[in-house]
Structure 1
């Protein structure tokens, strides 16, 4: 991601500054009894600083193999310190040959993999540093460096992860804004042409009657579908579906679908099962209520639940009829509606009054 660029450049600057610091310490010959070997270590550090700066700047090369090599080079330079220091090893004020340069891999791991990766790299480097100190029995073991390494891994990893998440949100917001602008442009164009023609065909078809009325009905359905398409909001997150879009497909002159203005975002599989249950309820309306019957679908959400009700103006269900159908093996309501909703952790309530229609209410956690 582009947001990582400043992090890698900052690590490159840290490597160069730490390399210069280690070289200055070597020039002062403070506690380094083998300066030739010390300058060899500095040379390795300089070569790897140049190579790592280039490698981390290329996204194709940036990965765990490079991170592992980076950590191994730093550990090799760190563990060479006793040979550079000689008899002065462990003396007060004497730093390892690479000095602060060994912290660079910790920062790189933290930027690439987050807090846990940063802590893992810090543990490796801190273990090497503590091992060098423990080898000298007369020298007190200080853990300041280890603590700083762990803090660096945690803080840098956390900030890096937050930056990546912020970039992803900003990118999605930009995509949603662009999609909304394009949708508004299409809505204007369609409203000025296609929707007006479909509305005219619907009105004229009803006036003429006969086969023209059927064409008018189909034109009305397409007009409603187009209006829903161009007026829909931004697409839901990946793996989710706006339940409203699935329910509005059932809309027709005989079926009125009412949904809230805000999206009813559910996991795609859950939304599909709810829509299928609603479709099964509408199939029952068409099968048992006869021609001319009307149905109403109402969807709403409140207090962490989503409720979808299907109501009709048919003759109602006689008492005991559902139990008889289940006993006879007809599983329309029991399987297509109750079974689907039960698998989602929801509940189905069916209220029917003879002569006053039936209402099927589906409730499930949002």
Structure 2
């Protein structure tokens, strides 16, 4: 039943106490003109109290059908009260038979849907009570009950919603903790087996040379990627740093701050995709073994990410010629993505000095 369980049990206690109070009113008070009708209404209230307590205790039954039926039964008992009281209706000291019992569905609506639904339920019940008073000219029009119903619905609904949110946060924290424990367990096993084997292959491949050196290099890349993967901890949504570290390998060095670089998730994903496109260009135009460096930093008003390589640079006019030829890698995959995210791209290149692509994304409150 979760965090809602205590709320539903409290409502059940309230319904029973209100029912007992209605029975005391009927037994001790002589202001009811039709006591037989009163006992009939009280019996209906008792039956619905038992049925509602059982129904709300079953999570599968909690929903709009039950809430609507609960409200209709309560309104029926409230609208029947003038026939029980007869000419004594609203006389001094005479209370309607379901005086406090009518708050049951208001509290149920509040726990189920929060303060807004609680306020709606209070408005429905209060409207029925005010209508009964208005249609009786000699009855005083009092709003005390309506105000109490409204306050009860709003306060209980607000507290119930806060409790649900707290439970959800605790659940997410427990899941993250369990996932991290499982990650740590797997990390220990991988470190003791797979990583050691990859490190051995890399070392022996470099010693043997030739084709074995290439196998050693590939093993080193996989070791670095796997080590980064098992060392990652759950990152905040939109953390650009965690997205960039995935590009780290034996040929790609990633330098980021120690703290997360948090951007809107969609923008962080676009920046990471643009960095991936820049690395693809390095592998295509410089070579699969070319070294590349990713630097990321966060200033007060913007996030800066740069991708540098060790190539020969971009000859003058090549990017413009590529766009005219329909090759839109840099224009769309990098510049287009960053422009859509509200940022800018600067390409710094010179013959023999490699290329640096600098991405700037403004940080908005």
SS in structure 2 at match of 1:21:
helix
Q: Which residue of 1 aligns with 2:331?
A: 334
How far residue 190 of structure 1 moved from its aligned partner, in angstroms, is: 1.9
What are the within-5 Å matches in structure 2 for residues 246-285 of structure 1? 246-264=243-261, 269-285=266-282
User: Is 1:288–2:285 an aligned residue pair?
Assistant: yes
Q: Which residue of 2 aligns with 1:186?
A: 186
1:65-105 Cα offsets, whole Å, 9 max, x none, are: 00000000000000001101100112123221101000010
1:148-175 Cα offsets, whole Å, 9 max, x none, are: 1111111011000000000011111111
Question: How many angstroms apart in 2 are the aligned matches of 1:299 and 1:279?
Answer: 14
Question: How many angstroms apart in 1 are the aligned matches of 2:251 and 2:180?
Answer: 31
Q: Which residue of 2 aligns with 1:99?
A: 99
SS in structure 2 at match of 1:99:
coil
Question: How many angstroms apart in 1 are the aligned matches of 2:360 and 2:117?
Answer: 43
SS in structure 2 at match of 1:299:
strand
How far residue 294 of structure 1 moved from its aligned partner, in angstroms, is: 2.0
1:244/1:259 contact within 8 Å kept? yes
How far residue 263 of structure 1 moved from its aligned partner, in angstroms, is: 4.3
Change (3 A) 1:292 1:123: closer
How far residue 207 of structure 1 moved from its aligned partner, in angstroms, is: 1.9
1:244-281 Cα offsets, whole Å, 9 max, x none, are: 45434433332212234444566665444333311221
Between 1:278-287 and 1:243-252, the stretch displaced more is 243-252
Name the TM-score, length of structure 1 as normaliser: 0.92
User: Is 1:65–2:65 an aligned residue pair?
Assistant: yes
Structure 1 gap ranges (5+): none
User: Is 1:169–2:169 an aligned residue pair?
Assistant: yes
Question: How many angstroms apart in 2 are the aligned matches of 1:76 and 1:345?
Answer: 59
Question: How many angstroms apart in 1 are the aligned matches of 2:302 and 2:43?
Answer: 65
How far residue 243 of structure 1 moved from its aligned partner, in angstroms, is: 4.1
Number of corresponding residues: 363
2:133/2:139 contact within 8 Å kept? yes
What are the within-5 Å matches in structure 2 for residues 143-162 of structure 1? 143-162=143-162
Q: Which residue of 2 aligns with 1:316?
A: 313
Q: Which residue of 2 aligns with 1:80?
A: 80
Question: How many angstroms apart in 2 are the aligned matches of 1:63 and 1:29?
Answer: 37
How far residue 10 of structure 1 moved from its aligned partner, in angstroms, is: 0.1
What are the within-5 Å matches in structure 2 for residues 206-221 of structure 1? 206-221=206-221
Q: Which residue of 1 aligns with 2:118?
A: 118
1:176/1:235 contact within 8 Å kept? no
Q: In angstroms, what is the RMSD of aligned CA positions?
A: 2.1
1:224-249 Cα offsets, whole Å, 9 max, x none, are: 1221121110265xxx5654454344
1:29/1:35 contact within 8 Å kept? no
SS in structure 1 at match of 2:139:
coil
Between 1:356-365 and 1:328-337, the stretch displaced more is 356-365
Name the TM-score, length of structure 2 as normaliser: 0.92
Question: How many angstroms apart in 1 are the aligned matches of 2:214 and 2:349?
Answer: 32
2:225/2:249 contact within 8 Å kept? no
Structure 2 gap ranges (5+): none
Question: How many angstroms apart in 1 are the aligned matches of 2:38 and 2:76?
Answer: 13
Question: How many angstroms apart in 2 are the aligned matches of 1:167 and 1:38?
Answer: 43
Question: How many angstroms apart in 1 are the aligned matches of 2:338 and 2:198?
Answer: 37
